[in-house]
Structure 1
Amino acid sequence: MFRLIAIHIFLATVVCPGMGCKAQTGPHKFLLALSKANHTLAIVDPVTLKVITRIPVGEDPHEVVASTDGKTAYVCIYGGGSFHEINVIDLVAQKPLHNIDTRPLFGPHDITFVQGKAWFTAEGSKAVGRYDPATGKLDWSMGTGQDRTHMLHVTADGKNIYTTNMSSGTVSILTATVIQPGNMAPPGAKPREEWMQTVVPTARGSEGFDVTPDGTELWTAASEDGAIYIVDPGSKKLAAKIDAKVFGANRLKITPNGKLAVISSLKTGDLAIYDTKTHQEVRRLKLGKGAAGILMDPDGSRVFVACSADNNVAVIDLNTFEISQRIDVGGTPDGLAWAIRH
């Protein structure tokens, strides 16, 4: 097993012309990939696309995120909405640290790291929760009242939360407003946050979604009717619908430049690529039997897709729309994330 410090030295000095790679001279970046069958978190070298190590995690891991400093990973242990655990992983020492008990919130599924805190959906409790690593406690939660609150996006300021609710066929928009103490408030009273929810109807099976880089559009795809629904976060209303016929749609991600939307199908194994301006299909690729988790390369050159039914992660060149490689990260891969260490 390579130690990360050795990998740092390797990536900073090696050049691999046969693969067209360049030496890393800036932040050190690692691909994180979950295997649901093997119950492991794989750390992958993004240059060589080789697995550096595999770290054990709990049963039924679904989504993963790294802390802002790239030193810690958080893995949601889902259990179909019945489990109540998030695994904390030391990415430097490459070992498990401890588990977060999310009760009374059940079924942690998707997770993101914003404003120094881990925010997650709790599908079994129809809610969103937040964990503060500084205090080691859950410090906030809010119910959506929607069935299967599944995927999550939190704006950089932590003031807006978007979720898809699969069985309800809706998108929740949660917005925080700071309320100042009134005239009748006791001395020393502090401002408080008040959260409001707007529910936007889409279609059953709305699951994977993403927000454009400028924050003006939220794209989600519904597995049941195969359509793409575009929500305007400003007006909090449905803005458009595309009859994409991506049946079994599982995940949707938008490229860093905001030009393309990439949708995976767990039912057909297709990867549909749409132009976000024209709303037209650009390309449709057959990846295998079933495609799930999607992760964009920060430079926009590649997209990684977890082909769960085929037990590999496909690497697609976004310039040629061709599969350049497949990575074996373990059986039934799903959740993918970047860990970037400065």
Structure 2
Amino acid sequence: MFNSRWILRAGLVLASLLSSALTWAAPPILVLNSLSASVSIIDPVTYTEIKRVPVGKEPHHIYMTPDGKSALVANATGNTITFIDPKTGDIQRTLADMVDPYHLRFSPDMKWFVTAANRLNHVDIYKWQAKGSGFEPVLAKRIPTGKTPSHLAINTTSTVVYASLQDSDELMAVDLATQKPLWVVPVGKTPADIFLTSDDKNILVALTGGTGVQVYDVSNGPAKLVKTIQTGDGAHAFRSQGDKRHLFVSNRSANTISRIDLQTMTVVDTYKTPAGPDCMEVLADGKTLLVTARWAGKLAVIDLEKKVVVKTVAVGKSPHGVWTLNYASRS
């Protein structure tokens, strides 16, 4: 006789097999649950969670490999990086011995791979080298930083990486070729995400400990403050709209998202969100904005034309990063 526990287990196995074999109408949406050590795989048509895959401890941010075949999930306290198939949401492999990979970026020329060790106060610069049929990072230099390196940005010429130092209230620049710091300047309170404009001239710094975004000129020497844009309490993460003009910033304490015009450096729209908006993704059609609501435990879907939340999806604890292969331009 079959008991209920066996039936439940069989059902879960069958669901997993079906999801792995599923032909997606569009690539799935990946949501990183930082306090659940998992990734929610979301159907982009029905906006339902199809499955939840385990990864390392504290997955926070995600980025695609140079060959476009894998999405890299950085598991900070797990000291690992999980490779996920961006077309199916299946785990491909795990890269061990990565020291506190909180945030991660590839240089545009795909020669350098950089991670920020949020709790251990250093930035690691790797060479991304071919190994067999794949690629592996080879550590070039570990660079000590101020307190709590948070987010990274790399210029279009692949020569400089910038890092926000969250608990030192600083912005740092490092030469990629020599792996030597170029300068460190003070900024506003608790800097988090940073966004470098496509001309490499200005860098925007989200002040989680403040009420807005600072704009710095980094085109010649150490960063110089140009302007402060008032957006809302707890300005935290950026995502470009993909139209080469507008930039979104999530205001985590205000429960809003601000849309910034990069030509005038002013706020032109504001969107209300569930509690604790954090990382964002814009779908390829340019009409839909996804945002993780960390305090609500949800992924929110925003219609940019109607300026309203049209759907929420319950995910794991403290959802942070969100990503899909079906994304709008990031410039």
Cα deviations across residues 6-35 of structure 1 (Å, max 9, x unaligned)? 425xx2xxxxxxxxxxxxxxxx64422101
In structure 1, distance between residues paired with 2:49 and 2:182? 42
- 1:148 to 2:148 alignment: yes
- 1:87 to 2:103 alignment: no
Matches within 5 A, 1:307-318: 307-318=293-304
- 1:304 to 2:304 alignment: no
Equivalent position of 2:6 in the other structure: none
Question: Partner letter of residue 117 of structure 2?
Answer: A
User: In the alignment, which of 93, 106, 112 is matched to residue 113 of structure 1?
Assistant: 106
Relative to structure 1, the CA distance from residue 176 to residue 77 in structure 2 (aligned partners, 3 Å threshold; closer, same or farther) is closer
Matches within 5 A, 1:248-327: 248-327=234-313
Question: Partner letter of residue 120 of structure 1?
Answer: T
Normalising by structure 1, report the TM-score.
0.77
Deviation at 1:3, TM superposition (A): 5.0
Equivalent position of 1:34 in the other structure: 32
Q: 2:81 aligns to what SS in structure 1? A: strand
In structure 1, distance between residues paired with 2:272 and 2:85? 36
Q: How many residues align?
A: 302
Relative to structure 1, the CA distance from residue 214 to residue 325 in structure 2 (aligned partners, 3 Å threshold; closer, same or farther) is farther
Percent identity between the two aligned chains: 19
Cα deviations across residues 82-128 of structure 1 (Å, max 9, x unaligned)? x53323345558135223212xxx43211123416642112213223
Determine if contact 1:291/1:307 at 8 Å carries over to the other structure: yes
In structure 2, distance between residues paired with 1:52 and 1:66? 21
Equivalent position of 1:186 in the other structure: none
Q: 1:101 aligns to what SS in structure 2? A: coil
Determine if contact 2:37/2:55 at 8 Å carries over to the other structure: yes
Relative to structure 1, the CA distance from residue 284 to residue 199 in structure 2 (aligned partners, 3 Å threshold; closer, same or farther) is same
In structure 2, distance between residues paired with 1:56 and 1:292? 21
User: In the alignment, which of 183, 190, 194 is matched to residue 205 of structure 1?
Assistant: 190
Deviation at 1:333, TM superposition (A): 0.9
Equivalent position of 2:3 in the other structure: none
Relative to structure 1, the CA distance from residue 90 to residue 289 in structure 2 (aligned partners, 3 Å threshold; closer, same or farther) is closer
Q: 2:277 aligns to what SS in structure 1? A: coil
Cα deviations across residues 113-162 of structure 1 (Å, max 9, x unaligned)? 34166421122132233263634443323415222111112245532212
- 1:219 to 2:219 alignment: no
In structure 2, distance between residues paired with 1:70 and 1:307? 27
Equivalent position of 1:57 in the other structure: 55
Equivalent position of 1:138 in the other structure: 138
In structure 2, distance between residues paired with 1:287 and 1:42? 20
Determine if contact 1:127/1:145 at 8 Å carries over to the other structure: yes
Cα deviations across residues 242-267 of structure 1 (Å, max 9, x unaligned)? 25152222212232223222221222
Relative to structure 1, the CA distance from residue 39 to residue 172 in structure 2 (aligned partners, 3 Å threshold; closer, same or farther) is same
Relative to structure 1, the CA distance from residue 253 to residue 201 in structure 2 (aligned partners, 3 Å threshold; closer, same or farther) is farther
Cα deviations across residues 276-306 of structure 1 (Å, max 9, x unaligned)? 2233322333312211112233443222110
CA RMSD of aligned residues (A): 2.8
Q: 1:263 aligns to what SS in structure 2? A: strand
Q: 1:320 aligns to what SS in structure 2? A: coil
Equivalent position of 1:24 in the other structure: none
In structure 2, distance between residues paired with 1:194 and 1:222? 27
Matches within 5 A, 1:157-176: 157-176=157-176
Determine if contact 1:78/1:107 at 8 Å carries over to the other structure: yes
Q: 2:195 aligns to what SS in structure 1? A: strand
Equivalent position of 1:98 in the other structure: 94
In structure 1, distance between residues paired with 2:282 and 2:288? 6
In structure 2, distance between residues paired with 1:168 and 1:156? 26
Question: Partner letter of residue 75 of structure 1?
Answer: V
Determine if contact 2:124/2:139 at 8 Å carries over to the other structure: no
In structure 2, distance between residues paired with 1:242 and 1:271? 17
In structure 1, distance between residues paired with 2:218 and 2:252? 27
| Gaps in structure 1 of 5+ consecutive residues | 12-27, 178-192
